Amino acid sequence: MTTSSTTTRSARTLRWRVVDIVIASVLAVAASFLFIVWNTAYLGPSTLLTAVLPGIQGLANGLWFIAGPLVALVVRKPGAALYGELVAAIVSALVGNQWGAATITSGLVQGLGAEIVFAVLAYRVWTWWSAALAGALAGVFASAYDLGFIPGLAGGYAGSSAAFGAVYLPSQAVSGAVLAGLLAWVVVRALAATGALARFPAGRAVRAR
């Protein structure tokens, strides 16, 4: 009976509530506005980095991966990272940017990368390092898309040299770990400290300390 009850509670915990959908959507839209600003603001840092070493401009791209880890750290449900990144990408594409509909495909790929980390951890580990890993894998997946490594999909750097890819991929992974994963973790802790996330485990965990 105890085992059955525990299983039921675990299954219920992983179900999305209405409030989960609402807050996930709000956070994803908020992240999309960050994307919209960064769509232009990144050009300066990216140009400077490219001049230093082609491919290292990937260090400037991590902010585009933040929606997945951010939503996942708050909602803590299966599909949260994928949902957050995809919704943010859709909003960014609808508002308008230089990549158009390709933004949605890119968001899907990035969100999947982040989602895999939390899935492997059975949606039980919500620490700074799990967030960093999620951001890093989002960067790896984004690189695979950008470099044309995913069959049927060709990103902006498809056909680039192996030397370029050898710099670009780890650069995006590092950027994702820091600017997406760790930054999302810091933002969630800050929000939780205000009491804004009181209805979520993320909020209760921080307030209890």
Query: 12 lies in a domain?
Result: no
- The radius of gyration of the chain from alpha carbons, rounded to an integer in Å, stands at 17
Residue 111 covered by a domain: yes
Q: How many domains does the chain have?
A: 1
Domain assignment of residue 103, yes or no: yes
- Which structural domain range is residue 111 located in? 18-202
Helix/strand/coil for 87? helix
Q: What letter would DSSP give residue 160?
A: -
Q: Is 195 contained in some domain?
A: yes
Per-residue model confidence as pLDDT tens digits over 69-82: 999 999 999 999 99
Residue 118 in domain: yes
Nearest CA to 36 out of 105, 80, 90 is that of: 90
Whole-prediction pTM value?
Answer: 0.91
pLDDT (0 to 100) of residue 199: 87
In a domain, 5, yes or no: no
| Burial annotation 41-80 (CB, 10 A radius, 16+ → b, else e) | ebeeebeebeeeeebbbbbbbbbbbbbbbbbbbbbbbbbb
Whether the CB-CB separation of 91 and 203 falls below 8 Å is answered with no
Q: Is residue 7 part of a domain?
A: no
Q: How confident is the model at residue 201 (pLDDT cuts 50, 70, 90)?
A: confident
d(CA 202, CA 76): 8
Q: Is residue 115 part of a domain?
A: yes
> CATH number, domain at 38?
1.10.1760
| Dist. CA 57–CA 59, nearest whole Å | 5
Instruction: Encode pLDDT of 19-63 as tens digits.
Output: 999 999 999 999 999 999 999 999 999 999 999 999 999 999 999
pLDDT digits (tens, 9 = 90+) for 106-129: 999 999 999 999 999 999 999 999
The CA distance from 13 to 107, in Å, is 26
